[in-house]
Amino acid sequence: MALTVDVSGMADNKRGVDAGAVVAALRSAIGRGAESGFVPLHAPRIAGAEWTYVKDCLDAGWVSSVGSYVGRFEEMLAERCGVAHAVAVVNGTAALQVSLRLAGVQAADEVIIPAATFVATANAVSYLGAVPHFADSSTLTLGLDPEKLGAYLKDIAEVTGEGMRNRLTGRRLAAIVPMHTFGHPVDMEALAEVGAQWNLPIVEDAAESLGSFYKERPCGSLGLVAAVSFNGNKIITTGGGGAILTNDAELARHAKHLTTTAKVPHKWAFNHDETGYNYRLPNLNAAMGCAQLEQLDGFLQAKAWLADRYNEEFSELKGVSFYRPPSFARSNNWLNCLLLDTPDMEARNAVLDATNDAGLMTRPLWTLMPDLPMYAGCPSMDLPVARALEACLINIPSSVELGEAI
């Protein structure tokens, strides 16, 4: 359902939020999962062939960037995400950095990203010498607002012989990067229309959304190129890792070339034809990823059960609601979240203090990117929804095993 918070400002929380009642509702929803004491926000689930596959790497001696599990993991991932090609790399940030380069982003370009995102999205832009340009969020999806972005571009963008330009800064506009917040898909059809109108490629930050679908299409398959993450807190993990996804064979070839130091194939010579990166995923990590992917359907089912239980538990609690995505989205429910009915930092912090003091790990939305010192001078549209979300959103425990315990 759509977000119903008041985004007009940081008004007093008229309905009030009982932090103790939130703690009680969380414990009730989690049930047996809360009996062990401290409940983390999102713990990895190691319950398949991880030990067997990793031991196979150790026994064979193929532990680094060469080994059969890397290719196997890439093939499994591509099939799962509905794309022709996957290139496994060391982490999701590296995947996004290379994805942006593949899309043609160059130094001094501007890249449109959500202001409400994890810092890695902005950092990946900066690593290329480009400039993040911050956009507001949608109350419906928690991600980029296509309608507002389209209207904003009409005000600040102009066509030049070198592509779209921000007439206020003089810099080229190079790409749009939607991020599927907590696994909830952005309205990608509407965003694709904006990108097509302004000739801006869509580079999908799908770091959090493996297993999510937009109108029956997997996240990670919805742009020119996409990046996913397998950090220890993601829905599946390789310990550390990420991947570049695309349907374009040439982009995939270039991605693999760039992420393996741009070395020209030869049986003994060390020839490199452009500046590349040592970003290849080790075989050990890929082995773990294969075992995790084999369990993904079960993970998704457990997380869907947990989300339904939260939705039921919080349906009658005053002052706060459980976020559910719109009907066009099928979320992986990576991180569940509560929304205060009225944006209120003091009330939000009271809930965060009470839950964490009770051994239930919760966290707020990330600090908005333009509020970080290194990005304070970057271009930005007005951000009323992002600022409201910052003052009302609370992530709650979402580990797979919590859904299994219900």
- How do residues 34-88 score in pLDDT, each as one tens digit? 666 899 999 999 999 999 999 999 999 989 888 899 999 999 999 999 999 999 9
Give the model's pLDDT for residue 17: 93
- Rounded distance, CA 86 to CA 25, Å? 41
Non-local CB neighbours of 61 within 8 Å, separated by 6+ positions = none
The label of the residue with tokens 């964490």 reads 356
pLDDT, residue 189, reads: 98
pLDDT band at 8 (very low <50, low <70, confident <90, very high): very low
Pinpoint the alpha helices (H) of 228-282.
249-258
What's the burial of 385, exposed, middle or buried (CB within 10 Å: 0-12/13-18/19+)? Answer: buried
Provide the pLDDT for residue 9: 39
Q: Which pLDDT does position 255 carry in this prediction?
A: 98
Both tokens of 379, joined, read 């271009």
In the predicted structure, residue 1 carries a pLDDT above the cut 90:
no
Instruction: Using DSSP, state whether 320 is helix, strand or coil.
Output: strand
Q: Which of 138, 231, 157 is nearest to 200 (CA)?
A: 157
End-to-end CA distance of the chain: 24
Cβ contact 185:212 at 8 Å: yes
Structure confidence at residue 65 (pLDDT):
80
For residues 126-152, give the mean pLDDT: 98
Q: Who's near 295: CB < 8 A, 6+ residues apart?
A: 45, 47, 48, 236
**Average pLDDT in the chain:** 95
Compute, in degrees rounded to 10, the torsion defined by CA atoms 92, 226, 205, 196: 160
Hey, how many other C-beta atoms are within 10 angstroms of the C-beta on 103?
A: 21
Order the strands of the 213-214 sheet from edge to edge.
Answer: 217-218, 213-214, 329-330
Q: How far apart are CA 152 and CA 251, in angstroms?
A: 30
In this predicted structure, the answer to whether residue 14 has a pLDDT above a threshold of 60 is no
Q: What angle do CA 107, 109, 111 make, to 5 degrees?
A: 120
Report all structural domains of the chain as residue ranges with CATH numbers, in order of start.
19-45+296-404 (3.90.1150.10), 50-294 (3.40.640.10)
Average pLDDT over residues 388-400: 98
Closest CA to 367 of 346, 391, 396, 385: 391
Span 381-393, average pLDDT: 98
Q: Once rounded to an integer, what is the mean pLDDT over residues 173-200? A: 98
pLDDT interval class at 256 (50, 70, 90): very high
pLDDT above 60 for 5: no
Question: How far apart are the C-alpha atoms of 207 and 227, rounded to whole Å?
Answer: 6
Radius of gyration for the chain, computed over Cα atoms and rounded to the nearest angstrom: 21
Residues of the chain above pLDDT 90, percent: 91
What pLDDT shows up at residue 11? Answer: 37
Q: Rounded to two decimals, what is the model's pTM?
A: 0.95
**Taking 60 as the threshold, does the pLDDT of residue 190 lie above it?**
yes
Structure tokens at 73: 């993991």
Examine the pLDDT at 250 and tell me if it is beyond 70: yes
> Per-residue confidence at 33, pLDDT binned at 50, 70, 90?
low
Query: In this predicted structure, what is the pLDDT of residue 16?
Result: 80
The mean-pLDDT minimum among 27-31, 205-209, 293-297, 376-380 falls in: 27-31
Half-sphere exposure of 255 (CA within 13 A, CB side): 32
Distance CA 387, CA 367 (A): 9
The pLDDT tens digits of the residues spanning 279-317 come to 999 999 999 999 999 999 999 999 999 999 999 999 999
Which helix (H) or strand (E) element contains residue 253? helix 249-258
Candidates 375, 393, 321; CA nearest to 126 is 375
Residue 202 has pLDDT above 70, yes or no: yes
